[in-house]
Structure 1
Amino acid sequence: MIPPHAGPVLRTVATSLLVAVAVAASMLALTGLVLPGPWVRTGLLGIALVSVAVATVRALLESRARRAGTVAGGSVVPTLAGGLVASWFVLSRYGAPTSEPDLLVGPEHLARVVARLGDAGEVVRSEVAPVPGTLPVALLAVGGTLAVLLLADALAGGLHWPAATGLPLLALWAPPLVLTGEVPRGVFVVVVAALLLLLTVQPPGRAPAGRGERPPAPVRRAEQARALVTTGTAVAVALGASVAATASESLPGYAGAWYQAFTTTGDSIQLAEDLDVLSSLTERSQEVVLTYSGPDEGVGPLRTYTASAFDGRRWQRGDERSGEPFTGEDLLWPDDLDRGGLLEPAELAVTVGSLRDDQLPLPLEPRAVVTDGTWGYDGIRDEVVGDRTDTGDTYDLAVRPRPLDAETLRSAGAGTAVDAYVELPDSEHADEVAALATEVAGDASTAFDQAVALQDWLRDPATFTYSTELPRGGTGDPVWDFLQHRTGYCVQFATTMAVMARTLDIPTRLGVGFLPGEATDASDGSRSWTVTGQDSHAWPELYFEGVGWVRFEPTPAVQTGAPPEHTVDRGDPAEQGATPQQVPTAAEQEPRTEPTPQPAASEPVVAVGGGGADEGTPWAAVAIVALLVLAAVALAWYLLRRRRDERPWDAERAWAQVVAALERDGVRLPPRTTPRTAPAAVADAVTAARGAAPSAEVRDDLQLLSDAVERARYAAPDEEAASDDEDLAEVAQRITRGLAARG
């Protein structure tokens, strides 16, 4: 048998590369549902690792099959190898205790993956797309992508059904098509081009030929013509799709796509109600959440909801409650609090943008609300809940600020009527956190001064650093981890102050909403504010007797600006806790001398941002283009190599025809026949079988063909054959006719 040709191995590599390109591009379609972030890089890395593993194993099987003279198609071993790599990758990335991967995985990693899949299911059922790429959501997206990759590769590379490769990709295309009505045009172009090129690598209808089974020259020419036509079609489809997509954007009604009959959750934002303290902050939306006009000095942050249940890792809002009906004349404020002495009302007119939520963003101070629809007031949580907001909705507010100042809060003292807000989660480091809180509070004699001491300490840029990327923690207590590495964003700062305040018996909860946004002065002298997903924020609220819930701001000024005014006027410094410079750092942690540079003063934290599916990661588009270029280069190399090697295949096929003709006539050559000894071996075998030697013309043709076969097997690939002017197929036919005539 002839040594195996390199074609099957090159075909295997090209097939795996094209499948990887198609799956990677399809995964990017999910960025319309899951905000782009680290999960995209993780998914691309996983695709690369699994594809390399599958291609390597399949190429080794092809190589072994070539040496044995058989065909290696249909083996499940490459898919099993890819499944093992994919399983390890998912367990390593998403089964670790934190967002940092573990190289060694075990049963505990599997248990965490199962638990996080359950969390992802809750997100899918309860939140509006697009959602942040938190650990559970990223697990669902990346794990699902790798499963699609294994199935698509098995169809294309294992079963040699390239035409069916697009079917698994529908699992990645269907969610954005159903929920947003579109996939990015770049995804469509790249996937279609890759699938068409895949048909070029693997002609439909037959598996790769084994050694000695090369089709005749007319068939080869037809395959090359089909390859050129298919490649040209891929390029034409890619260009045509890009032009059509660009032109369609200018057509009337383009924005109101067909999918709106099924969903209205396109470019929308909703605040997550399950805040994971261990998760890094994903990319936030630039979509406008709402706009409002009001007094020159503004009314501070707008709170959407409050959360009081903290299990040591996550804040949760709790069960849904409908609230009590109200009118525009009602002052919405808890009944057990004093409503006397409120300041003059400030009027606000709010217009909803891309916010899709079932709570209205409201100022923290007492207010009256005039709005359409079915809404109720929850006095326990101080929330207005009910209908989901939609673009263009409006509501009016009459805000009656409380006369808050340091002296009032200092004399009020911590509330005692809401003891549930001082509950602490179980932790091995609970005593250490409590001790540190006491140390930071120092000699402060009132709950207010203790709270201010905690706020100032956390805001100190020499002690804490604002960053959306969390360092890895290893204690199992995210609050204690934060107190060690001292790097985080608003969820970590707010949570830490809330927990430390609770250790001091100060009732605390978490407020979640939006910072005031960007102010704009109109020509008529009025002022308006624009709030985007970038302004989403979380802060602690502490309860003071007779005063109610009061906002504090521990997140550094680099993101939030100045602290609340009622925490600045503090009276006699001698009666307060230690200043930030007097407070020691925790656990031998060196103080930082500079804050990490950050963009504008807005606190993005929990926004489930909108924006089109094309937003986000230019490097991902570059990676897809690079993979497609590599696929095209590999395909071109394969076609050139295939054309260059045609003559050796012609020699082998011609020789195989001669051997087959001899065997049909009952003439068999010795097993150890080589090309050099073949003419004599054929003459001897024919003479012994028929009693007559082959003619001189047949012996000459045998010598010519054996020389061609010897060069095909052992000469350098670029060495010119001696029979350039000879058609080896014709030589083989002359030999078989001559042998038949002598018979």
Structure 2
Amino acid sequence: MRLPLASGAATGAVAIALYPLFEGGAWFWTCLGVILVVTGIGVLGSRYTLPDWLVPPAQLVAVWIYLTAVFTGDKAWIGLVPTKESVLGLAKLLGTGFADIQRFAAPVPSDTGITLLTCGGVGLIAVLVDLLASRLRRAALTGLPLLALFTVPAAVASEPIAGPMFVIAALGYLGVLAADGRERITHWGRAVLVRRAPSFVAPRPASDAGALRLSGKRIGFAAIVLAILLPALLPTLEPNPLFGFGVGNGKGKGGSSISIPNPIVNLRGQLSLPTNSTVLTYTGSDSFPRYLRLYSLDIFDGEQWTMTARGRSEDRVSEGPMPAAPGQNMSLPVTEATTKIQVSEQIRGPLEFLPLPYPASRIRIEGDWRPDRDTLMVFSTQDSAVGLAYEVTTREPQPTAETLKAAPPAPPEINERYLQLPENLPSEIRDLARQVTQRGSSRYEQAIQLQEFFTKEGGFTYSLATQGHNGPALTEFLIRSRTGYCEQFAASMAVLARILGIPARVAIGYTGGSNASGEWKVRTHDSHAWPELYFEGTGWLRFEPTPTGGAGQGSATVPIYTRPEVVTTGGDEPAATPTSNSTGADLPNQSAGNRRDLMPDRDFGGVPVAVDEGVPVALRIGVGVVVVLLIALIPGLLRWELRARRRRSYARAAEDPAPLPHEEAVTPEPTGIVAARTDRRESAVAAAWAELDDALCDYGMSRQPSESPRALARRLAEQYAFDEEASAAMARIATAVERMLFARTPGDLGSLPGDLRRVRRALAAAVTRGRRIRAALLPPSTLLRARRLGTRMLDGFDRLENLRLRRPARRDV
């Protein structure tokens, strides 16, 4: 019965790691119930030796009955037995659960449908683990279903799985392996604990099987400890860390990289929740709303939009102005504005990227914040913007229509980066880009035509009930359904623009928010994605293909330079100031459907941001080597500290005069003082003997268990050719130890420190230089103590395994 119990415990241990996916704990208790049901059936099957092929079907039936009783008990017969109505009810709840998973981002509410899906999945994992471990006796293979369950929160959770959760899950798997080993061993008899000598003695013979019995546990515990400690201890040695998915070192606080959400993948789920809390507030010198950008995604591989970025130590925003906006001509008219931003303190987790209007020319903020020169994203590996107030100065370009129409081609470095498309992009999408734009038009005119295709002519509708932006999803959105939300609109326009030869990327951030008494409030409903297109001489300009107002994303606005009804100044040139619509009809509308904040503060372990600190690679490697050497010196430092402590003990005792017999003392001392002095002297002798014992161990010399102190002194003097002083010193130490063991007092200890020093020198002179270096840096006595500590811990687990709930009945022979 040990294996079914271990299988259930392992499933429960791994299921605990699902906690980041849910709000509240109702899901856990429901999953715990289904694990207990599966484990109970497994225990009964083993107890009554049912056929192995019968137990898994019985467990599945039990899981079905349990789910019926918990979720549709009102439709079942006597609340347990499934009926047609209960089966239909479960099917309906499953459909609801699948729909809710598509709608919500983690952590999801523990509603009935999602809880049913989770409980059913955990139940199936529990059945599979019990089948592999208890029925097929393939305990090692249980790691596959357990790993499948563990990877769900690792791939979906908004934060990295905590180290203790990994330890608990790993211990659960090790428990299955240990239980399997115990089951096999018990066929040969009862396991006996290994008893170990309390001090260093001669090595055990190779035939001793005690160490072999514990080797599996040692390997398992060592693997868990190394998996937890090594990533935290070893420095990062990437010579040129880059900003891309799949690489990083967690949150990276204090390090050279951080991790942020995969913004565009999680945007739809985050827009779906009904929360509408304030993310930040801002005021501007010109009282106009501005989009606030967090991320700039520049790579489309056919499956997802990702980004590359890099910060440099010389570009700290506190040390000067921001880098120049890419592609912006110094002679271009600009409007300079100052925006004061206050980030809310209610945002969960760190906020490692600054929401900023584009393009920022100067930022005044506390902390270590770095810009990426190509995108002007600003981030920090040390600080969080939660609760911070900062001031941003922007130099917003004011191009005319003629300027944009006459813009020359982008330079090769821009085209190479921002025109890349996958070779397998569907041909229907390439054809569509050319169909909706007129031949002979300038790139600016084609960009306007693309925007109007999405907002007016294409028959698109705004809806959150869609997903995806990869190749098939884009084809579905552009060719067939034409229903989506800002993710699809922004990604699709950027792809179509690249097909036409217009450099494009996707921005993620917030719209301008809503005005309240002269202050703009940006709420979670204002999360948004939009495309940015490049025009040489002007730089990157925002476009808005997503429907706005009540029929779309309510707080989104169409840029003034893209409107056909712009105010002109003597021709077709757009005016440098916004029209009246920008402060009236285009103010953000809060009547939009339920949305959720993009939550840039949450770490999905997906996108790492690399920060070039300007430290040479050789110096980083050197620092790593120094850290490793310091860690390697820990055993030597511990041995030195123990030796110093013992030296103080027998040095103090040597200063005390030897107590005279009571009848010879002129003034007899009180009995308590004499006893305390005697105990102190005995402790000093014991410390000196322990130090000699450790010295023998460190130099590779053994002390036989049957040797008396006097026999040991005689053997060492003869075997290692001690001189007269060392031999006499060893004899005095042996005499002091014998008096401590068999006489009332150890006698005179005045020469004990010097005697021990002479013996140590004699022992050191009898071994090689390499052995002396090892004794100083990696003393075997310290390593043996660490080993004995681990062995005692393993013995404790052995004792727990030998516990019996009831004593077996005695049988009379």
For the aligned pair, the TM-score class normalised by the smaller chain equals: 0.3 to 0.5
TM-score, L = length of structure 2: 0.41
